[in-house]
A = this chain, B = another copy of it.
Amino acid sequence: MPRPSPVRDALRELFERPEHRTWSLEELLGEVHGMIGGGDYSTVFRAVAVLEEHGHVSRVDLGDGLARYEASGAHHEHVRCERCGQVAEVPGCVLADAAEAIEASTGFRLRGHSLVFSGVCPECAS
């Protein structure tokens, strides 16, 4: 039996929050720090790696060179502002229908996809 893991527990709790957003490792570290008053970058890194292996979280790539993680489950895409980096969510999955056609045309057996829209958010546009 594994011994208690405050860091991983904090992360698990974090990812169970109703707000479904993406977290970079640094943001996760900050949250963990606030929750248990400790924690280390590498520990967080390893903890999310375990959570990812167990299917609790998914690593997402928003194209800004940072690894981000989100709770598995409700799948959706993201929009990232080219100017300020703000990330918003796109409700619903736009691609459910496309998958089948793509499998037929490429011969690949699809298992996932990563879609990031980029543009300018309302604040930056004004």
| A61 on interface, CB distance cutoff 8 Å | yes
Q: Which of B81, B94, B99, B113 contacts A108 (CB 8 A)?
A: B81
Q: Using an 8 Å CB-CB cutoff, how does the interface string of A75-99 with B read, 1 for contact, 0 for none? A: 0000101100000111100110011
Complex CA–CA separation, A125 to B111 (angstroms): 12
A79 engages B110 (CB within 8 Å): yes
Interface residues on chain A, number (Cβ under 8 Å): 34
Complex CA–CA separation, A91 to B120 (angstroms): 27
Q: Which of B106, B113, B121 contacts A116 (CB 8 A)?
A: B113
- Report which A residues bind B (CB closer than 8 A): 61, 63, 79, 81-82, 88-91, 94-95, 98-99, 102-103, 105-122, 125
